[in-house]
Amino acid sequence: MGYKTVVEDNIDILVAGAGMAGTGAAFEARYWGQDKKIVIAEKANMDRSGAVAQGLYAINTYMGTRWGENNPEDHVRYARMDLMGMVREDLLFDMARHVDSAVHQFEEWGLPLMRDPKTGAYQREGRLQIMIHGESYKPIVSGAAKKSADIIYNRICLTHMLMDEAKENRVAGAVGFNVRTGDYHVFKAKAVICAAGGASNIFKPRSVGEGAGRVWYAPWSSGSAYGLMIGAGAKMTQMENRIVLARFKDGYGPVGAYFLHLKTYTQNGVGEEYESKWFPELSKMVGKEYLDTEGQHLSHKPIPTCLRNHAFISEVNAGRGPIHMVTMEAFQDPHLEEIGWHNFLGMTVGQAVLWAATDVDPKYENPELTTSEPYVMGSHATGCGAWVSGPEDLSPEEYFWGYNRMTTVEGLFGAGDAAGGTPHAFSSGSFTEGRLAAKAACKYIDDGKAEGIKVSQEQLDKRSKEIFKPLEHYKIYRNEITAGSVNPNYINPRQGLDRLQKLMDEYAGGVTVSYMTNEKLLNIGLKKMKALEEDLEKIAAEDIHELLRAWELKHRQLSSEAVLQHTLFRKETRWPGYYYRGDFMKLDDQNWHVLTVSRRDPETGEYTMEKAPCYHLVGDEENKAAAA
Ligand code: AMP
């Protein structure tokens, strides 16, 4: 291709993606592997990469055990309730018992955490959330990880895992290309920690035209964690569990600080409280165990995120929109007004700019909220990701196969959005998961599990050809462009993305169908998805930038197919407000109180689906979690 091949050999631990989870992994790998060769490969620049790139105003997962605030069991109960029971409690507990120490380190490294002047404890936003001055959160945390790695390769888009040819189902590193130079990069490694992020821009976004870059999760989160792991044949879990967010309209400004700290609340278009009106009917759909309108559940806040969405969506569909956030009361207090603006300036500056540009002053006008398009990720209030092993001291047999956070592919570990069944990790929890994965990966290597790995030149050549094919394809066919970018021989990445988003929106329950789908629709979606997959074999890239877009799209496509397969498999509506199975409108605990697990055969592309037990390891007593 005219580009160089760069081979990095003899790596012990390859960190694939250096967002919060990847930085945690590099940091911890150095602690347990003083003599190990640790290499980071990151698509952007790790100082400002991942979902935390533009900053955060809160750390949403901090137990505060040292201040007597919460213990890990509280976190498990909270996340379990929020996800309608469907979580991996071993993984949640394991993260929660370690997360505080990560947060304390962030403070040591220079992150300004707010403190409660009366108690000296960190300033709480909600029961589990604390407030920070976090515009520079990511550069601060990545600074520590940078010191830990031997070599950092920024601007590398990883496209595939390398597979060992000596032992089946064992990872051997990864390959990709430099998004600036176009060089082919080979990383031969004993263990890989995949932390390449969740997926935005899978479902058609509400934003259009010049606003199309505005999405809730980072637009550069291309589902590469899923694309890479599915491509390697790793089992996935809970991929149907996409998340819909209630957000400030058009800027996707987050609502947590407003609801929890400023104590703002919502109203319908005619100024009424609407949420509680929908709960009696909703209780019939999900059952009393999850929403008891007569018993005490409603006094146990918070109501699961999806159920709050359901009330929002139903009220709008009943013609009483838009939904407003009542800010006019809180913003009369100058301190709260300042916090309200700071909150956006520290993490979603676009929302503040949008309000300024459209003459919205939340002190005098209650801003509009909306529900977002769905996102596929595993660190906010949802748990998509790989089926990974839990820790040996907590996990039942079905959840444990030797190394914490190792996927079903040997030597391939997952953290952050990559690890499934672990919602509510957020930034601190993702960093912590990276740490846990790295510790286990070091042990995996020390136990001699990565001995004798073999990678042939043939495998490297095959991948190289595949990676650069879109550039070749463009060169061969560019003269046949008929109008603008229309060509009978190929689609370009933008055209492919539009097609994927339309398909997912219409068949898998996006915004234009009010999050509704059914078996018939999903099967049509799967058929169209196969056709798209075939056409992506002929995608064309005009330059290296488009090559990046082409590979991001291929990762999004693999993630999306998994979403369709999982959504089809789970024959119930487990999370009303995230999506609805029109043919099974009720939650069905008798048949579906299980985790869904899939595997895509990398050779044939065929899917197999199975149910895995959903064990509840933490008792229900004192279920007052997050009664903020
Ligand atoms: P967000 O700002 O929406 O990303 O949420 C930040 C944190 O606040 C997360 O831990 C959310 O689960 C939580 N949160 C957001 N809105 C609410 C609410 N209305 N009630 C309870 N918790 C919330």
Q: What is the amino acid identity at position 436?
A: L
- Inter-helix orientation angle 493-507/544-569, to 10°: 20
Is 568 inside a domain boundary?
Answer: yes
Rounded CA gap, 203 and 201, in Å?
Answer: 6
Domain end call among 347, 371, 395: 371
Pair 29, 413: CB distance under 8 Å? no
- Say how many C-beta atoms besides its own lie within 10 A of residue 132's C-beta: 26
- CATH at 325: 3.90.700.10
DSSP for 54-90 reads: T-EEEE-----GGGTS--HHHHHHHHHHHTTT-S-HH
Same domain for 251 and 296: yes
Is 401 inside a domain boundary?
Answer: yes
Same domain for 201 and 52: yes
**Mutation test of ligand 1: which of 260, 261, 267 has the most ligand atoms closer than 8 Å to its C-beta?**
260
Q: Which pLDDT belongs to residue 627?
A: 44
Atom of ligand 1 nearest to the CA of 259: 19
Q: Which pLDDT belongs to residue 375?
A: 98
Q: What separation in Å is there between the alpha carbon of 603 and the centre of ligand 1? A: 41
Q: What separation in Å is there between the alpha carbon of 129 and the centre of ligand 1? A: 9
Q: Whose C-alpha lies nearest to ligand 1, atom 23?
A: 256
Same domain for 441 and 347: no
For the stretch 212-223, pLDDT in tens is: 888 999 999 999
Q: What separation in Å is there between the alpha carbon of 606 and the centre of ligand 1? A: 38
Same domain for 135 and 28: yes
Same domain for 385 and 357: no
Q: Which pLDDT belongs to residue 626?
A: 47
Maximum CA extent, the chain: 71
Domain end call among 320, 339, 371: 371
Q: What separation in Å is there between the alpha carbon of 365 and the centre of ligand 1? A: 22
Domain that holds residue 357: 246-371
Same domain for 390 and 312: no
440 falls in which pLDDT band (50, 70, 90)? very high
In Å, what is the CA distance from 483 to each residue of 437, 478, 490, 543? 50, 11, 13, 19
pLDDT at 295 exceeding the cut of 90: no
Atom of ligand 1 nearest to the CA of 305: 12
Pair 195, 168: CB distance under 8 Å? no
pLDDT at 208 exceeding the cut of 80: yes
Rounded CA gap, 122 and 115, in Å?
Answer: 4
3-state DSSP assignment of residue 368: strand
Is 601 inside a domain boundary?
Answer: no
pTM for this predicted structure: 0.97
536 lines ligand 1 (CB under 6 A): no
Q: What separation in Å is there between the alpha carbon of 202 and the centre of ligand 1? A: 23
pLDDT at 298 exceeding the cut of 90: no
Domain end call among 355, 371, 387: 371
Of residues 109, 113, 39, 16, the one with CA closest to residue 417: 16
List, in sequence order, the alpha helices (H) in 415-508: 426-446, 457-477, 493-507
pLDDT at 294 exceeding the cut of 80: no
Is 496 inside a domain boundary?
Answer: yes
Same domain for 152 and 56: yes
126 lines ligand 1 (CB under 6 A): yes
Is 611 inside a domain boundary?
Answer: no
pLDDT at 614 exceeding the cut of 80: yes
Q: What separation in Å is there between the alpha carbon of 32 and the centre of ligand 1? A: 35
The alpha carbon of residue 546 and the mean position of all alpha carbons in its chain are separated, in whole angstroms, by 24
Rounded CA gap, 428 and 61, in Å?
Answer: 6
Helix (H) or strand (E) holding 174: strand 171-178
Q: Whose C-alpha lies nearest to ligand 1, atom 10?
A: 60
265 lines ligand 1 (CB under 6 A): no
Of residues 505, 613, 526, 525, the one with CA closest to residue 242: 505
259 lines ligand 1 (CB under 6 A): yes
- CATH at 190: 3.50.50.60
Atom of ligand 1 nearest to the CA of 256: 2
> What's 211-279 look like in SS3?
HCCCCCCCCCCECHHHHHHHHCCCCEECCCCCECCEEECCCCCCCHHHHHHCCCEEECCCCCCCHHHHH
60 lines ligand 1 (CB under 6 A): yes
Is 598 inside a domain boundary?
Answer: no
Q: Which pLDDT belongs to residue 3?
A: 87
Residue 398's contacts (CB-CB under 8 Å, 6 or more residues apart) are 612, 613, 615
Q: Whose C-alpha lies nearest to ligand 1, atom 1?
A: 256
- Across the range 238-265, mean pLDDT stands at 95
297 falls in which pLDDT band (50, 70, 90)? low
Q: What are phi and psi of 183, to 5 degrees?
A: -65, 145
Q: What separation in Å is there between the alpha carbon of 306 and the centre of ligand 1? A: 11
- Across the range 155-165, mean pLDDT stands at 98
Q: What separation in Å is there between the alpha carbon of 266 and the centre of ligand 1? A: 14
Q: What is the mean pLDDT of the chain?
A: 96
Same domain for 227 and 176: yes
Same domain for 561 and 476: yes
For the stretch 129-154, pLDDT in tens is: 999 999 999 999 999 999 999 999 99
Is 558 inside a domain boundary?
Answer: yes
Beta-bridge partner residues of 189: 11
- When divided into structural domains, the chain yields a total of 3
Q: What separation in Å is there between the alpha carbon of 256 and the centre of ligand 1? A: 4
Is 286 inside a domain boundary?
Answer: yes
Q: Whose C-alpha lies nearest to ligand 1, atom 16?
A: 256
> What's 133-164 look like in SS3?
EECCHHHHHHHHHHHHCCEEECCEEEEEEEEC
Q: What separation in Å is there between the alpha carbon of 368 and the centre of ligand 1? A: 17
Same domain for 393 and 427: yes
Beta-bridge partner residues of 593: none
Of residues 325, 347, 329, the one with CA closest to residue 337: 329
256 lines ligand 1 (CB under 6 A): yes
Q: Whose C-alpha lies nearest to ligand 1, atom 2?
A: 256
Atom of ligand 1 nearest to the CA of 128: 10
Q: What is the DSSP letter of 9?
A: E
302 lines ligand 1 (CB under 6 A): yes
Rounded CA gap, 100 and 535, in Å?
Answer: 47
Percent of the chain with pLDDT over 70: 97
Same domain for 317 and 435: no
**Mutation test of ligand 1: which of 56, 57, 60, 426 has the most ligand atoms closer than 8 Å to its C-beta?**
60
- Give, in degrees to the nearest 5, the angle at Cα 413 between 99 and 493: 105
Same domain for 487 and 503: yes
**Mutation test of ligand 1: which of 128, 259, 343 has the most ligand atoms closer than 8 Å to its C-beta?**
259
- CATH at 487: 1.20.58.100
Rounded CA gap, 585 and 308, in Å?
Answer: 17
Atom of ligand 1 nearest to the CA of 246: 3
Pair 95, 422: CB distance under 8 Å? yes
Q: Which pLDDT belongs to residue 210?
A: 83
Q: What are phi and psi of 159, to 5 degrees?
A: -110, -35
pLDDT at 347 exceeding the cut of 70: yes
Q: What are phi and psi of 71, to 5 degrees?
A: -120, 170
Pair 431, 438: CB distance under 8 Å? no
DSSP for 551-608 reads: HHHHHHHHHHHHHHHHHHH--S-SSTTT-EETT--S--HHHH-EEEEEEE-TTT--EE
Atom of ligand 1 nearest to the CA of 628: 21
- Across the range 50-64, mean pLDDT stands at 97
139 lines ligand 1 (CB under 6 A): no
Q: Whose C-alpha lies nearest to ligand 1, atom 5?
A: 256
Beta-bridge partner residues of 517: 581
